[in-house]
């Protein structure tokens, strides 16, 4: 892989990761659009790890508060940060269950199929538009309930674990859409 390809993939990942669009879908589209060979899943994972590191550095205070809130839970004290950490965990459960079921069913992998990526990007864009247009956005992060967390977790499960068919969907975008349906504010 050329240095030019690595730089382009890193820039595309850096830009698309923070938007409610599929960074993986765009990483898959780049070789198709440029004529470059597919970079493979290892490179995709490395670019995502770079993004994770950047997010943890930027949001280190928030991550630290969640860690401290979790530790307080083990001491029997429930704080707002501890509750949010529990809700994040509860929201992760649907994705884990979907992944387990799909693995047991030996679902075929269509993740790098350009047609699947393109159609999912269009369908997902329309769903996001509808959620944004009709979601009331009146609740704050402090008003999140377990029901909201599980709804958002189900949306993430669709984006993350139906990956053979959902590349082009964005996990965080699915969460934002589910949050809009649950009337959560996007903090605008």
pLDDT at residue 185 in the model: 72
Q: What's the confidence (pLDDT) of residue 164?
A: 47
Low-confidence residues in the chain, pLDDT < 70: 20, 107-111, 135-136, 159-175, 181, 186-188
Per-domain boundaries in the chain:
1-58, 61-188
- Model confidence pLDDT, tens digit, residues 150-159: 887 777 777 6
Angstrom distance (rounded) from CA 166 to CA 35: 23
From the list 180, 122, 10, 113, the residue with the least C-alpha distance to 172 is: 180
CA distance 122 to 76: 46
Residue 114: name the closest of 15, 32, 4 by CA. Answer: 32
139, β-bridge pairs? 184
Matching residue, tokens 């943890």: 56
The counts of H helices and E strands in the chain are 9, 0
pLDDT digits 0-9 by tens, 69-100: 999 999 999 999 999 899 888 877 877 787 77
3-state secondary structure of 65: helix
């Amino acid at each position: 892989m050329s240095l030019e390809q690595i730089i382009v993939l890193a820039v595309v990942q850096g830009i698309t990761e923070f938007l409610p669009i599929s960074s993986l879908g765009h990483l898959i589209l780049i070789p198709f659009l440029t004529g470059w060979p597919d970079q493979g899943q290892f490179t995709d994972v490395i670019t995502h790890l770079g993004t994770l590191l950047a997010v943890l550095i930027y949001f280190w205070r928030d991550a630290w508060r969640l860690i401290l809130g979790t530790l307080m839970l083990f001491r029997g004290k429930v704080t707002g940060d501890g509750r949010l950490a529990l809700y994040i965990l509860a929201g992760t459960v649907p994705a884990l269950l979907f992944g387990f079921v799909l693995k047991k069913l030996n679902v075929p992998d269509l993740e790098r199929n350009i047609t699947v990526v393109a159609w999912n990007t269009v369908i997902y864009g329309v769903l996001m538009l509808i959620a944004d247009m009709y979601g009331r956005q009146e609740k704050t992060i402090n008003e999140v309930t377990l029901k909201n967390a599980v709804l958002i977790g189900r949306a993430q499960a669709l984006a993350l674990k139906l990956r053979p068919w959902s590349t082009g969907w964005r996990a965080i975008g699915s969460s934002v859409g589910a949050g809009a349906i649950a009337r959560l504010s996007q903090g605008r």
